Amino acid sequence: MPLIVPVYDPATDPRPVLYQFVISVRDFLDELVREGRDPTGTPLFVERLLGFMGPAWEEGRPIFEGLAVAISDASPERLREHGLSGRQLGFKLEVIRYLNEQYLASGKGILRRLLDAIDTLLKSIIKAAGLGDAAEELKDFIKDSIDGD
């Protein structure tokens, strides 16, 4: 399953879209860890780290549900302060959508850029939700486990 980047109308409440985005990122990371291969079939991760990554992901996976709920409860003002509404959010989601399309077409070579873009948006979501950095850090360590490049 590819990353599903929700469609956002800048004139609407961004909270449902942010909720969907966080859940989609969780599902995307879940697939990366579970499958361990990109869309072209190329192995993604350093083999030595796989035995550690799976259990760590299972332990940390629920953090994303908490983040999704917390961001759906954030005030519109707080979301605006963190660039999580309007045309700013629309642009950010479109960049991630583009990078995801590139990843699906070409595989592993662009995965770090896709994860970096996801990370940038996740940081804002975490700050706006007023939560700790555990979700972001776990995603970063999955990224750091990518073999090569």
Domains of the chain, residue spans: 15-144
Q: Is the pLDDT of residue 74 over 70?
A: yes
Q: Is 66 helix (H, G, I), strand (E, B) or coil?
A: helix
What is the value of pTM for the model shown?
0.90
Going by pLDDT thresholds of 50, 70 and 90, the confidence category of residue 115 is very high
Going by pLDDT thresholds of 50, 70 and 90, the confidence category of residue 2 is confident
Give the mean pLDDT of 36-48. Answer: 94
Across all residues in the chain, what is the average pLDDT? 92
77-88 burial string, b = 16+ CB within 10 Å, else e?
ebbeebbbbeeb
Give the mean pLDDT of 124-137. Answer: 82
